Structure 1
């Protein structure tokens, strides 16, 4: 009986989480996935640059190449009206995105340029990766400062 009750509670929790996620528009889930992929690649490169993980030229190059690809994705479909944090609880996008859409979208051009510069040197060693992390971080962080709810 205890096992049945425990299983029911777990399944109920999973179902609740799945239902809550299903109420989030596809565009929001897609852009969150895109941002998680950016974070994954940036984390790999940043940790190598800081020496938190051992530098691996192949892994660094793969992460940098992924950033180039991700930053090449056309963004218009990811940011429809009505999907800011004011309208959707699961969103961290500030309304400023839609108030300054051209400026916001140009941030992806900046990110692409920084990612391309990183990809050109990612296989050249830890110091080369470290030398490019500042511009890459600024491209990401600058956009987050103006257009995303803070982690604080």
Structure 2
């Protein structure tokens, strides 16, 4: 019982710390989210390219991570966070908010589809992963400024 209470308290404090950072610095928070998404995408890319052996658990983790991270992503673009913090966010995020949120939702739906039916081999993983990364690329094309 004590261990469960300590674990629950630690989880709450970790969540509160992330929430506090997010309130103080939405740019930093969204950049961290993209780093997490990038890490998951990198793991998926290694499997898709056969640089790493296919693993269904890793495939599930890729889709689950991206789904969870993108679910919260749009909220970290409040008015006033258009500049600063070496942001790569295009102004169209704010001028086309509906389109931005739709792009995030599209990615989340594709990730959810493959969370529910996780590819069990490389042959089925590759097209699933490609579909998801096309959603990533479409959003980046419209809403991200790539900096050197």
TM-score by length of 1: 0.74
1:117 is displaced (CA, Å) by 2.3
Which residue of 54, 65, 82 maps to 2:80?
82
Q: Which runs of 5+ in 2 are unaligned?
A: 1-23
For each residue in 1:58-93, what CA deviation from the matched residue of structure 2 results, as whole angstroms up to 9, or x when unmatched?
Answer: 2221222222222322622x0012222xx2151110
Which residue of 139, 142, 147 maps to 1:143?
139
CA 120–50 in structure 1, closer or farther in 2 if over 3 Å, else same: farther
For each residue in 1:94-115, what CA deviation from the matched residue of structure 2 results, as whole angstroms up to 9, or x when unmatched?
Answer: 1111110110011111001111
RMSD (CA atoms): 2.0
Paired residues of 2:93 and 2:143 also in contact (CA < 8 A): yes
Larger Rg: 1
Residue aligning to 1:118: 114
Paired residues of 1:41 and 1:63 also in contact (CA < 8 A): yes
CA 139–61 in structure 1, closer or farther in 2 if over 3 Å, else same: same
Paired residues of 1:121 and 1:129 also in contact (CA < 8 A): no
State yes or no: 1:107 paired with 2:108.
no
1:151 is displaced (CA, Å) by 4.8
TM-score by length of 2: 0.76
SS in 2 for 1:73: helix
Q: Which runs of 5+ in 1 are unaligned?
A: 1-24
